[in-house]
Amino acid sequence: MPTTGIFNGTNLILKFHSTDGSEVVVGHTTSASMSLSADLPDATTKNSSGYNEVIAGTRTGEISFEGLVAYDDSNNAIEAADYLLARTKVYWTFGTSVSGDDVYSGAGFLNSVEMSAEMESPVSFSGSITVTGAIAKTAN
């Protein structure tokens, strides 16, 4: 049954697709976000009666994530860094695991991966993916 009402952010997860096609949650993430935007080229003419007009242009997306480092996770900070260094395309899914909920999926390239270690604190990581190509929306 699809999620209804306001729900806990813990239920929204980011997954990378492994080489065998299975989806694996990016381990120990504390946050994940998807940002979509559209380029709106100016289409203002003398016929616009003094109002700005635009047309729909290209669309872009970015997936950002943060988490805690655990080397024994299936998808961890080291693997993310390896994807970036090898210039490997990453296939991702963003949404809940609840049957009937819409999820977004696509491909992209990691444009940043950072690991940070403060004294007496858990090691953390963050990264972002720039989407390439179309983003699909499907139901779980």
Q: What pLDDT, on the 0 to 100 scale, is given for residue 113? A: 96
Domain count, the chain: 1
Whether the pLDDT of residue 19 is over 80: the answer is no
Give domain status of residue 104, yes or no.
yes
User: Residue ranges of the alpha helices (H) in 4-73?
Assistant: none
Could you tell me if residue 1 is inside a domain?
Answer: no
- For residue 93, is it within any domain? yes
Compute the distance between CA of residue 77 and CA of residue 37 in angstroms, rounded to an integer: 27
* pLDDT for position 22: 78
Query: Which pTM does this prediction carry?
Result: 0.88
Q: Coil, strand, or helix at residue 81?
A: helix
Do 24 and 75 meet the contact criterion of CB atoms below 8 Å apart? yes
Domain-embedded: residue 67: yes
Domain extent for 67: 15-39+56-139
Domain membership of residue 127 (yes or no) is yes
The model's pLDDT over 54-64, given as tens digits with 9 standing for 90+, comes to 999 999 999 99
Residue 107 counted as domain residue: yes
For the stretch 111-134, pLDDT in tens is 999 999 999 999 999 999 999 999
Q: Would 8 be classed as within a structural domain?
A: no
Domain contains 134: yes
Type of residue at 37: S
> pLDDT tens-digit profile of 67-83?
999 999 888 899 999 99
